[in-house]
A and B are shown apart, each in its own frame.
Chain A
């Protein structure tokens, strides 16, 4: 099959292209052809994976090289081995690791960032969830964007669901809960004002339908779209809060867990599991993994993406999603 990325941006494509472009600017030799010879980068890659769950395959290590290059110059580390010391042994290693993680995930916040996730929703996830809900006598779906940052993810979801309201979702209603810990991010999300970067993959048709002109360079989400998203401040580590967010059908939590230590990560993911209804799904960022974090969710592969499925309690291992 022709790779989706050639026609429509895939989960990694747009990000990768951005990263590749930036890589080229930051360091001309950091290109896909020039495989970084220094094994210290592999150690940095493995460290990041161990700590955050974000993984870069060897063939795409050049992206990591360019991200490290910025931090290396900031801390005046001359070699990747020297920088590895900043991440592992020096006093400020935790702060440095966080700064590197910020570099790695920078530029991932824009509308329609992951078309394969939306396609998985349309073709497999929603039909399955709707069947479960129908059997319960409900015709309302609940989504949660956990760690919604400045709102691009929940608004994308709202647009996608509204576009499906006459087709797949005819006769159904939905609500989207969007939460974040950061008040500034939440305020920006509620304002719903976006520039070219956030809208670069939003078609003209959707821009006209769901946005109004805010100023010369920016568009603002219409009140109609805003009405489908409820924003709230939630700390995912706050167990008492997490206990009251039940009844979800699909949860999105993109590049948020990477900042949690293993124990907190396990707790948060277990809350997600409890808060999902049977047959519900958890979607993470494109390069994130729950390996050794949680083994109650079942990993499901969709074209170009993966999701974590909460199988019904009576489903034998291997019950089809």
Chain B
């Protein structure tokens, strides 16, 4: 991205606050995403969810769905207990973004986008746990937020971004290559600016920026590498962006893999085939979660 384009993008990102109507819960939610999981108070989350009746209703619906054993959950408090803090944060973030991005600005199918984001969150976290990474919770957030730039591009450059997606689908190429060609920058760059604008923690900003090019990572290398691999694994398990990429990936040959192996020797002994089959098993749950939360949400928004 050239300096002029960068300046232009930066200005655009700064004007975002005046373009969209931020849901009331956005700022407190961003605060939640900045905090380590162990410092988040249960009461605070309950209060936050209760603030927005649409979000509270979604949490209740999800907690009562077959995914959670069809319990009789009637209060926001018990819904949060049933879902767990992590899922609640994902639901909050997803619903919040859905409110920010008007339905005519969605370039991706919202369900495809959320399946990819939640899928990447889950895979990145599982891989983090498997190799003994100290903050698997952080890995989950990294997976969830890595494509923040897709939201920024959808909102700011809707028509051109639509062309990028169309071209990527036609060529069956990774999206960021077509973004570079048409927009002159990628969702990694716009995402980084948005993440910084929202004052997300520095390591998450780095994930957003470097998940397609791990060499750009400096301070949060393991987290960036984990997210890169999580993203790739999702894209080879039909949790990409709604088109078929031509992909043949030797994960063991990825720079991200080799970088991680240096710090986490457990990775070199990991049964990757079994891990992949486990992901296949979890896919149904991801799809069901997204459909339970966002499928009906977008359906309702269309009415």
Contacts and interface: CB of A to CB of B under 8 A. Distances in A.
Contacts of A319: 253
A171 interface: no
A20 to B, nearest CB: 11
Interface string A270-313: 00000000000000000111111000001111111011010000
A59 B285 contact: yes
Given A59-B284, A287-B277, A320-B250, A1 B241 contact: yes
Contacts of A188: none
A301 B233 contact: yes
B250 A318 contact: yes
Nearest to A122: B246
7 contacts: A12-B280, A57-B280, A120-B248, A123-B248, A299-B251, A318-B254, A321-B250
Contact of A55 (B116, B245, B249, B277): B277
A304 B238 contact: yes
B287 interface: yes
Given A302-B249, A317-B252, 8 more contacts: A1-B112, A10-B238, A55-B273, A57-B277, A57-B280, A119-B244, A288-B273, A292-B271
A55 B276 CA distance: 10
Contacts of A120: 248
Given A2-B242, A3-B287, A300 B273 contact: no
A1 B276 CA distance: 17
Interface in B247-303: 247-255, 257-258, 271-274, 276-285, 287
Interface of A: 1-5, 10, 12, 32-33, 49, 55-60, 119-120, 123-125, 128, 287-292, 298-304, 306-307, 309, 317-321
Contact of A303 (B115, B238, B241): B238
B236 A124 contact: no
A120 to B, nearest CB: 7
B94 interface: no
A88 B181 CA distance: 60
Contact of B281 (A60, A302, A318): A60
B241 A302 contact: no
A203 B30 CA distance: 52
A291 B276 CA distance: 12
Nearest to A318: B253
Contacts of A5: 238
Contacts of A2: 109, 112, 238, 242
A182 to B, nearest CB: 27
Nearest to A291: B271
Contacts of B281: 56-60
Contact of A306 (B273, B282, B287): B273
Contacts of B243: 1
A81 to B, nearest CB: 23
B57 to A, nearest CB: 23
Contact of A3 (B109, B241, B283): B283
